[in-house]
């Protein structure tokens, strides 16, 4: 069974540009989560999608947005990039919502560097 896949592995952008990160969940998983992990910091919750709908978002500005497609894959868009957006962006999927004891399975992440 294929795990969660993310692309690209690395992404280098300049300040002010837009970045698009992609995620394919484990087959059968309908929930997709996005987290940001800046260097030396913990995982910060960004967004949760389930059945194509945004269910919750973390304390991030509106320039962080995304969507979930009918095949449950997801896209994270970051507009007007700032230097502090440089981080590892992790996508995770789960069979159902995590509060139903459904664990998150993480992809290998996209390392975004903003110069």
Cα–Cα distances (Å) from 110 to 9, 53, 75, 99, in that order, read 5, 23, 12, 26
Taking CB under 8 A as the criterion, which residues in 75-104 touch another protein?
Answer: 90, 97-101, 103-104
Task: Assess contact for 92 and 104: CB atoms under 8 A.
Answer: yes
Considering the complex, what minimum distance in angstroms separates the CB of residue 109 from another protein?
5
By CB under 8 A, is residue 55 in contact with another protein? yes
* 42 binding another protein? (CB under 8 A): yes
Phi and psi at residue 16, in whole multiples of 5°? 95, -20
Write out the residues near another protein by the rule CB under 8 A: 33, 35, 41-43, 45, 48, 55-56, 58, 90, 97-101, 103-109
């Amino acid at each position: 069974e294929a795990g969660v896949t993310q692309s690209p592995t690395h992404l280098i952008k300049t300040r002010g540009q837009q970045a698009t990160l992609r995620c394919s969940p484990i087959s059968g998983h309908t929930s997709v989560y996005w987290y940001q992990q800046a260097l030396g910091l913990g995982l910060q919750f960004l967004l949760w999608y389930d059945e194509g709908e945004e269910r919750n978002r973390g304390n991030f500005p509106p320039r962080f947005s995304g969507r979930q497609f009918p095949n449950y894959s997801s896209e994270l868009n970051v507009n007007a990039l700032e230097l502090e957006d440089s981080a590892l962006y992790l996508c995770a999927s789960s069979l159902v919502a995590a509060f139903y004891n459904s664990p998150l399975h993480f992809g290998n992440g996209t390392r975004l560097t903003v110069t």
